[in-house]
Structure 1
Amino acid sequence: MDPRTSAQDVMRCDLCETAVVQMHCDTCLVNLCKTCVGEHFSTDLSKPHKIVDFKARKSTLIYPKCTSHDVETCEMYCTQCDIPVCNTCIASDQHLGHRFVKIIEVLSKRKEKIIKERTELKETIYQTYQGIASDAEKRLNLLQEEYENLLAVITKQEDIWHREITELVHQLKSRTHEMEKKQLETLQKHFDEIKQKISDIQDDINSIDDAFNSTNISEVFSFLSLMNKYRKLPKKIVFGVPKFSPNKIQEEQLYNFTPGVLEEDEYKFNMSKSESPETGFSPPVKQLLDEPETVTTIDTGYRVLYNVTCLSDEEIWTSGNDNVMNLYSINQGSLLKSVATKSGNGPEDIAVTKSGDLVYTDYYDRTVNIVKNEKIEEVIRLQNWRPSGVCITYNWDLLVTMYDDNNQSKVVRYCGSTEKQTIQSDEMSKPLFSFGTFDNCICENRNLDICVSDSGAKAVVVVNQAGKLRFRYTGHTPAPMNQPFNPRGITTDSQSHILTTDENNHCVHIIDKDGQFLRYIDCGLSSPYRLCIDTNDNLIVAQCNNRQVKKIKYLK
C-alpha cells in the first residue's frame, strides 16, 4: 500500500512526501518535516516564511494580495480609498497624501461589526422569528379548534332541521371544510416559511462564525451583511372563521353564513436586546452590582447640558442650552454629527425611534418633529398645548407630556400624528400630574406601565397602559445630600427597574416596577438631569452643570 495515499497513514511532508509532517509554513501553507525546513526556506527567499509546529498551524494571518501588484501582500489600509494597499501602492502617486493605517486595526473593527451582527442575529432576530413561529403555530391550532367548534354547532343544528334540508346541511359542511382546508393550508404554508427562515438565520449565524473565526482577511473583508433580508418581517396571517347563525325553519333562509377571511397584519420588530413584550421573551435576570462603576465620562461642550438618548451602544444624541443636537461617540468622546432644530428653538426633549431616527419636542413652536435622512419633518402640531417630554413605546407609538396655557398637564399617546389616548385624571377626576411644571419626562416600562417624572409634585407617577394610577414614588430617606427629592429624567431597564435622576441629591434612584426603592447611584454625579439605558443595561447620565455625560455599569 502506498503510504502517501493510504487513508490509515499519518500526514506526510509536502516536499519529500515520505517523512511524517512535523512543521508547517503559515506563509505558504505547506506541511514540512524538520529535514525539509531548510530546503523550503531556500526555494523562495522573497517571502518572510513563518515556520510553526504543525499543531499550531493557521496561527498566522493571511494578508490579502495586492490587486495592483500581484507579488506583494497588503499590510496597510488606505482610509480615503477604503482598500488594502501594499508598500508599493503607498509609495505611488495614486495614494499621494492619503492616510494609511495598519490593516490589523481595520480588521479588528471589521470583526467587531461581524460579531455585533452575529449577536444581533442570534439574540434578537432569531429570537423574534422564534416568537413569530410560536404565534403562527398558536393561530394554526386555534384555527383548527375554531373550525371544530363551528362544525360542532352545525352538526347540532342538523338534528333540528328535517330531512328535506339534509342536502343543504351537507352543502354547508362542504363549504366549511373547503374554507377550513384553504385557510389551514395558507397558515401551514406561512408557518413552514417562518420555520425555513429560522433555519436560514441559523445557517447565516454559522456562516458569520466561519467568517469571524477565519484567519483569511479577504474572507472577512468579503463578508456581506445579511441583515437586510431579515429586517422585513413576514406578514402576520389573521384568520376569520365563518359566522354561523341558524334561522327558524319557516323563514326564507335557513341560515346565515359569512365566509371567513385571511388577512395580513404587521409584526412589530424591536432591535433592542431587551425584547419587546409582544414577542413574549423575558431577558436574562441581572443583579445590581454592590458598587456601580463609572465606565467612561465625556465632555459635550454645552454651556448647560440637558438631554441624552442612545442611538446605539456606542453613539448618543445630546442637547443643551442651544438649538443644536449633537451625536457623540460615548466611548471615544468625539463629535460625529450635529443637527439644528427647524425653528431655532432649543429642543425640550429628545428620543430615538426603533429605526434610528431622532425625535425632538419644540415647546415654543408647539411641535413634535423627527429627523430623517438629515431632513426635519413635523409629526405633530398642537394648538392649545405645548409638548415637553417624549418617548417611543414598544409598539412604536409616541408618548408626549404636554401643558396648556392654564398650566394643566397631561400625557397623550400618538400613532404617527393620530391621537390614540389621553391620560390626565384619575378615577376621581383629580389631576394625575401637577400644574405649572414644564419639564416632565416620560418613559414606558417593559410591563407597559407609563412612568412620568413629575418635578412639580416631587414624585414619579406611574400609571398602567390604560392610564389608571398604579403608584407614586416620592423619594427615599435618608437621601445622599439630605435634600428634597427632585426627579428630572426617567428611564427603565431590561429588569423593569425604573431609574430617575435626583438633581438636588446628585444621584439616581432605582426603584422596582411596583415602586419599591432598591438603591442610589451617585458615582460622583453632579446635578444629573436626563438619562437613558443602552441595550447592555449601561446607564448614561447627562450632568447639567459640568456638561459631562457619564456611562455607568450598575448591573451584573
Structure 2
Amino acid sequence: MQIASLDGEYKKLTTEMSKQRKEIHREVDNAINQMENKIGEIKVKHHSILQKHLDEIKLLQSLMQQTLLALIEMEESNAVSPTIHYSSKIKEFTKLPPKVNISMPKFIPKQIEREELCSLIGKLTPLSTSLGERVFTAKKPNTSDRELLDEPEVLKTIKTGYEQLRHIKTIRTKSGERLRDTAVDRNGALLYSSGKTRTLYKVNNDQKEKMIKLQGWKPSQLCVTSSGDLLVTMYSNDRTQSKVVRYAGSTVIQTIQFDDKGQPLYSDNNIIKYISENRNLDICVADCEAGAVVVVNQAGKLRFRYTGPPSPTKNKQFIPHGITTDSQSRILTADRDNHCIHILDTDGQFLCYIGNCDLKDPYGLCVDSNDSLFVCEYNTGNVKKIRYSKYISS
C-alpha cells in the first residue's frame, strides 16, 4: 500500500514546489529542476527500501507455505520418523519482519531573496527510515455465513437458443468442432480443450496458441485453481483409464488416478467427468458413469465418494453431471435425470435438494462471487440464475 501511494505523495511535493516556482519566475527554474531531480533520487531510494521489506515478507510467506505442504505430506504419510523428529516452527513464524516506518520528505519554502536565491528556494528533508515492532495477531474467524434457503428462487432465465447445453462459457471454432470444455485463467485468457486434436489451447487477445499436446490421452474438463494451476480430467486413447492431472503452465506437477490400495479413483471410460476445486482445496469430480461425486484432498488422497443421499427420494438413479462449489465450501452437483441439484457439505454429507425451480435436465453449473447459482438446462438451452442461500451473522 505504501508503494502504491508513492506517486501520489511525491506528486504533492512537486505541486507545492511548482507554486513556489510561480513566485520567483525564470530565475529559479534551474534551482527547482535540481531539487526535482533530488526528489526522484529519494523516491527511488524510498521504493527500494519498501521493496526490500516486501521481498522479506514474501520470503517468509513462501517458507510458511512450504511448511504447510510438508505438514500435509507428513499427515498423509505412514512414516513415523518424520513425525517423531518434527519440530514446530510456529514460534519462528510468529517473529514477523519489523514494520518499516518511513517519513515522507517535506518541502519547506522560504521568502524570496534574489542574492541567495538557490539557498532560499527551500529544502527537502532527508528520507527518514526507522524500524518499528510488528505484533503478530491471529486472524479473527469470519462471522459472516450463508444459510441455505428453504425455498430457492429463480432470479432470471436466459434463453441461449442452443441445444445440448453443457457449459456456461461458449466459444465457436473455425472448424466447427465441438469443444470438450472451457475455462478462464487468472489473467483473463480463455482456455479450452479439444478431444479431436488431444490439445489444450489458450486464446488471449484473439490469438490462439497451443498450451499442451497430450500423448496417449485425450483432455476433457478443465478447472483453474485458486493458485493459478490448471486441473484437467482426461481419458486414455483406448478408453480404459481416467485421471486428473495438475499443470503449472504446461508442466505436469501432479497426477491423480489411484487410491492408497492401487484401485482407480475414477471410472475407466471417456464419459465426461466435470471437475471443480473447493475453497478448502479439495478436488471434486462428478463421475457420472460411476454414479458418484469423487472428492480427494490437495495431495490427491481420497476423502469420500458421494453416491446419493442416505434415504433417496428420487425415482431415478443418481448420475451427477456438472459440479461447482460455493463460498461456504459446499459442493453442488447436477442430477440431470431427477431434474434437481444436490448440495453437500465439505465432508460429503447430503444437505438438501434444489428441485422446486422447475429445472429440466440440469447439466453445467457455475457459482458466482455472490453465491448465485447458474444452471444450464441440457435440452431447453436455458440458463437459470438461482438464489439458494442468504447471509446470516453470528
TM-score range, shorter chain: 0.5 to 0.7
Q: Residues 500 and 510 of structure 1 are in contact (CA less than 8 Å); yes or no, is this contact kept in structure 2?
A: yes
Where in structure 1 do 4 or more consecutive aligned residues deviate above 3 Å?
135-140, 279-283, 477-481
Q: How does 1:240-255 map to 2 (within 5 A)?
A: none
Q: Secondary structure at the match of 1:427?
A: coil
Q: Is residue 2:197 matched to residue 1:365? A: yes
- Stretches of structure 2 that go unaligned for 5 or more consecutive residues are 1-52, 65-94, 105-138
Once the two structures are TM-superposed, the CA of residue 477 in structure 1 deviates from its matched residue by: 5.8
> In structure 2, which of residues 234, 255, 276 is the aligned counterpart of residue 402 of structure 1?
234
- Stretches of structure 1 that go unaligned for 5 or more consecutive residues are 1-131, 144-183, 197-278, 309-316, 319-324, 326-339
Q: Report the Cα distance in structure 1 between the residues aligned to 2:218 and 2:323, rounded to whole angstroms.
A: 20
Q: Report the Cα distance in structure 2 between the residues aligned to 1:469 and 1:366, rounded to whole angstroms.
A: 27
Change (3 A) 1:461 1:342: farther
> In structure 1, which of residues 499, 508, 511 is the aligned counterpart of residue 344 of structure 2?
511
Report the residue type matching 2:210 in the other structure.
E
Change (3 A) 1:356 1:301: same
Give 1:269's aligned residue.
none
Q: Report the Cα distance in structure 2 between the residues aligned to 1:393 and 1:281, rounded to whole angstroms.
A: 24
> In structure 2, which of residues 362, 365, 388 is the aligned counterpart of residue 531 of structure 1?
365
Q: Secondary structure at the match of 1:400?
A: strand
Q: Secondary structure at the match of 1:307?
A: coil
Q: Report the Cα distance in structure 1 between the residues aligned to 2:225 and 2:291, rounded to whole angstroms.
A: 24
Say which structure is richer in strand: 2
Change (3 A) 1:389 1:283: farther
TM-score, with length taken from structure 2: 0.63
Give 1:304's aligned residue.
164
Report the residue type matching 2:250 in the other structure.
S
Q: Secondary structure at the match of 2:166?
A: strand
Give 1:390's aligned residue.
222
Q: Is residue 2:297 matched to residue 1:451? A: no
Q: Report the Cα distance in structure 1 between the residues aligned to 2:160 and 2:141, rounded to whole angstroms.
A: 37
CA RMSD of superposed structures (Å)? 2.9
> In structure 2, which of residues 102, 126, 151 is the aligned counterpart of residue 291 of structure 1?
151
Give 2:293's aligned residue.
460
Q: Secondary structure at the match of 1:470?
A: strand
Q: Secondary structure at the match of 1:136?
A: helix
Give 2:177's aligned residue.
345
> In structure 2, which of residues 384, 387, 390 is the aligned counterpart of residue 553 of structure 1?
387
Q: Report the Cα distance in structure 2 between the residues aligned to 1:365 and 1:490, rounded to whole angstroms.
A: 25
TM-score, with length taken from structure 1: 0.45
Q: Report the Cα distance in structure 1 between the residues aligned to 2:359 and 2:201, rounded to whole angstroms.
A: 31
Q: Secondary structure at the match of 1:383?
A: coil
Once the two structures are TM-superposed, the CA of residue 283 in structure 1 deviates from its matched residue by: 8.2
Which of structures 1 and 2 has the bigger CA Rg?
Answer: 1
Deviation by residue 1:346-397 (Cα, 9 ceiling, x = unmatched): 1111122223222211111111112211222221110110000110001000
Q: Report the Cα distance in structure 2 between the residues aligned to 1:280 and 1:442, rounded to whole angstroms.
A: 31
Q: How does 1:315-354 map to 2 (within 5 A)?
A: 317-318=169-170, 325=171, 340-341=172-173, 343-354=175-186
Q: Report the Cα distance in structure 2 between the residues aligned to 1:543 and 1:357, rounded to whole angstroms.
A: 26
Q: Report the Cα distance in structure 2 between the residues aligned to 1:457 and 1:431, rounded to whole angstroms.
A: 11
Give 2:334's aligned residue.
501
Deviation by residue 1:257-300 (Cα, 9 ceiling, x = unmatched): xxxxxxxxxxxxxxxxxxxxxx9985831100111010000111
Aligned residues: 269
Once the two structures are TM-superposed, the CA of residue 545 in structure 1 deviates from its matched residue by: 0.2
Q: Residues 542 and 549 of structure 1 are in contact (CA less than 8 Å); yes or no, is this contact kept in structure 2?
A: yes
Change (3 A) 1:427 1:537: same
Report the residue type matching 1:394 in the other structure.
S
Deviation by residue 1:481-511 (Cα, 9 ceiling, x = unmatched): 4100010011100000000001110111000
Change (3 A) 1:137 1:345: closer
Q: Report the Cα distance in structure 2 between the residues aligned to 1:555 and 1:478, rounded to whole angstroms.
A: 23
